Amino acid sequence: MDKSINELNQLKANAVKNLEATEGRRIIVGMASCGISAGARAVLEKLQEEVAAAGLDNVQVLPTGCVGMCIYEPIVEIFEPGKEKVNYIHMNPDRVSKVVSEHLVNGRPVKEYTLGEDEESKLKNLNDLQFYKKQKRNVLKNCGFINPEDINDYIAVDGYQALAKAVTKMTPKEVIDIMKASGLRGRGGAGFPTGLKWSFAAANEADQKYIICNADEGDPGAFMDRSILEGDPHSVLEAMAISGYAIGASKGYIYVRAEYPVAVERLKIAINQAKEKGFIGKNIFGSDFDFDIEIRLGAGAFVCGEETALIASIEGKRGMSRNKPPFPANKGLWGKPTIINNVETLSNIPKIILNGPEWFRSMGTEKSPGTKVFALGGKINNTGLVEVPMGITLKEVIYDIGGGCPNGKAFKAVQTGGPSGGCLPVEDLDVPIDFDNLVAAGSMMGSGGMIVMDEDNCMVDIARFFLDFTVDESCGKCTPCREGTKRMLEILDKITQGNGTMEDLAVLEDLAENIQNTSLCALGQTAPNPVLSTMKLFKDEYLAHVVDKRCPTGVCKALLRYFITDACTGCTLCAKKCPAKAITGTVKEKHYIDQDKCIKCGVCMDNCRFNAIIKK
């Protein structure tokens, strides 16, 4: 054991020397999915080409994960010994030549390509920006810093030290006791205590036990787990091995959706590297503990995020939920005790083992310690990933970190918990974010999607959008979810088409409550949440659709009407541009729109030079 640990420490010493770039300079390019989709691959290749052409042998050009500020991708960061890191944003191949010639060759950073809130802060560290000031990056600490395709980078930042500590210095019970003491709750849904879950599986006598990483992230707008897998895959592998040691499992599976090709590729690389170093496989750190990990690809079924449906999928069956109990910790994969944790939950584990439960409890709240990663999207200025201490308010996340809604629009609501959550209005902005407070407010934590809506969003349409998603994703096994959600969607379609009645609203609410109470799994039980929360908090919008036959925000096209006001000069441009020939009138006289012919395309309004056309 000592030999194995000494070898790890020597690997770390060598890796730290390289990571700190004490012998040269280091350029990292954000190569998570967000960066790649923005053109980062071409930037990386161009940098490698230009650095080589300039003869800069002491400069490394490497990929990394997402730093969180997806809105500024592609992002390039340059590290030089004894100097402040320089961050370049919105990079493209055309900008690379100037950065190499000016910054790397002549030592003059290209200020106009950097990010800063004012001219003085242009060359400051990204961490000094308002976006980061209230964040606490623990899970995301390595993302955007290390090379996820090089195990040595992970080793340099204490990688696999927690596994070494657990296997060589602790008993399985001591590992579980630390997890219990930390208060870590599952970051994938209802927030069940992680240590308690592990103890159930550990207490079961079985010839085989399993660890499953649930990376089947399917919420619209959620990309937390994907970014961790793309930016810090070894943290998940190390955590799975620790949990395997704790419960007596020798096999682990990572269930990840095939739509995450970058994450899958980096997981494959990480698994092979960990096996080569002996951190996965036989006799880990010279002990009698064996642990192996395999990847299983999901086909994109949202229901497979539910643990029993996920297990069925790994077993080669159709992804459908089953009744509980028995719970997977007692009878899971192939009938054996199985622990399932999601990516973010697992990423906390090595840090807790190394730093202790008190360190973890020093963040967050008493009942919800630690931090939580959110995918901040929708009508928000600073889209991206944020990691904040539990207990921070929605207002702080949306305004202090997210920068509020674009174009001076008024905030209207925020959807937390994805399709399973609820919409919270401006009155709830001071709600502290933790598992219990969000549920009390009418929503939930879920995996961590946070979609912001402004004054232009129709809340009836938002409810219809999320319900349409869950109808498509229902596995169809139980009648309440399979049939009930369809009937709810039909009613919402009817309402947004202008044919809804007050009776429909009553039936909608009754259906929602029945589906909540009788569905087999959490997908069906939570499917009505967006509808119920919007009906409760934005009832006036539902009444406007049903009683007044209008959509206050103009989103629902069937209820939309375009009118020409007295400001019309009779220029005839609107009539000429109308594709439906719905506008009539003579030159220099007010024109009129035939509502029966109007297809509500808005072309007339776009082309009117006198602002004489309005929509209601």
Q: Examine the domain organization and report whether 403 and 514 are in the same domain.
A: no
Model pLDDT for residues 551-567, shown as the tens digit of each residue: 999 899 889 889 999 99
Residue 154: inside a domain: no
Q: How far apart are CA 542 and CA 559, in angstroms?
A: 12
Q: Examine the domain organization and report whether 330 and 437 are in the same domain.
A: no
Residue 312: inside a domain: yes
Residue 4: inside a domain: no
Domain of 604, CATH number, reads: 3.30.70.20
Residue 533: inside a domain: yes
Q: Are 307 and 328 in contact (CB under 8 A)?
A: yes
Q: How far is CA 205 from CA 86, 197, 247, 329, 577, in A?
A: 55, 15, 10, 11, 76
Q: How far apart are CA 124 and CA 133, in angstroms?
A: 13
Domain of 60, CATH number, reads: 3.40.30.10
Three-state SS for 609?
coil
Q: Examine the domain organization and report whether 283 and 356 are in the same domain.
A: yes
Sequence-ordered list of residues with C-beta below 8 angstroms from that of 508, at least 6 positions apart, any chain: 488, 491, 492, 531, 535
Q: Examine the domain organization and report whether 469 and 526 are in the same domain.
A: yes
Q: Examine the domain organization and report whether 450 and 463 are in the same domain.
A: no
Query: Which helix (H) or strand (E) is 508 found in, with range?
Result: helix 502-518
Model pLDDT for residues 468-494, shown as the tens digit of each residue: 999 999 999 999 999 999 999 999 999
Domain of 388, CATH number, reads: 3.10.20.600
Which ranges of the chain have pLDDT less than 70?
Answer: 1-3, 19-23, 116-127
Domain of 246, CATH number, reads: 3.40.50.11540
Residue 536: inside a domain: yes
Q: Examine the domain organization and report whether 394 and 471 are in the same domain.
A: no
Domain of 493, CATH number, reads: 1.20.1440.230
Q: Examine the domain organization and report whether 433 and 352 are in the same domain.
A: no
Residue 150: inside a domain: no
> For the chain, how many helices (H) and strands (E)?
26, 17
Three-state SS for 45?
helix
The per-residue pLDDT for 117 is: 53
Q: How far apart are CA 153 and CA 577, in angstroms?
A: 60
Residue 180: inside a domain: yes
* Phi, psi dihedral angles at 572 (to 5 degrees): 75, 0
Residue 416: inside a domain: yes
- Sheet with 384-389: strands ordered across: 384-389, 371-378, 449-454, 411-416, 422-425
Q: Token digits for 499?
A: 């044919």
The β-bridge partners of 451 are 377, 415
Q: Are 420 and 526 in contact (CB under 8 A)?
A: yes
Q: Examine the domain organization and report whether 80 and 57 are in the same domain.
A: yes
Query: Which helix (H) or strand (E) is 154 found in, with range?
Result: helix 151-156
b/e burial code for range 505-537 (CB count within 10 A of at least 16 → b): beebbebbeebbeebbbbbbbbbbbbbbbbbeb
Q: Examine the domain organization and report whether 341 and 208 are in the same domain.
A: yes
Residue where a domain terminates, one of 333, 361, 389: 361
b/e burial code for range 24-43 (CB count within 10 A of at least 16 → b): ebbbbbbbbbbbbebebeeb
Q: Examine the domain organization and report whether 58 and 119 are in the same domain.
A: yes
Q: Which has the closest alpha carbon to 393: 448, 432, 434, 424? A: 432
Domain that holds residue 596: 561-615
Residue where a domain terminates, one of 126, 146, 179: 126
Q: How far apart are CA 500 and CA 464, in angstroms?
A: 14
Q: Examine the domain organization and report whether 224 and 280 are in the same domain.
A: yes
The per-residue pLDDT for 123 is: 53
Q: Are 398 and 410 in contact (CB under 8 A)?
A: no
Three-state SS for 253?
strand
**Total domains present in the chain:** 5
Q: What is the 3-state secondary structure (H, E, C) of 111-132?
A: HHHECCCCHHHCCCCHHHCHHH
Q: Token digits for 106?
A: 């002549």
Q: Examine the domain organization and report whether 397 and 319 are in the same domain.
A: no
The per-residue pLDDT for 382 is: 93
Residue where a domain terminates, one of 361, 383, 413: 361
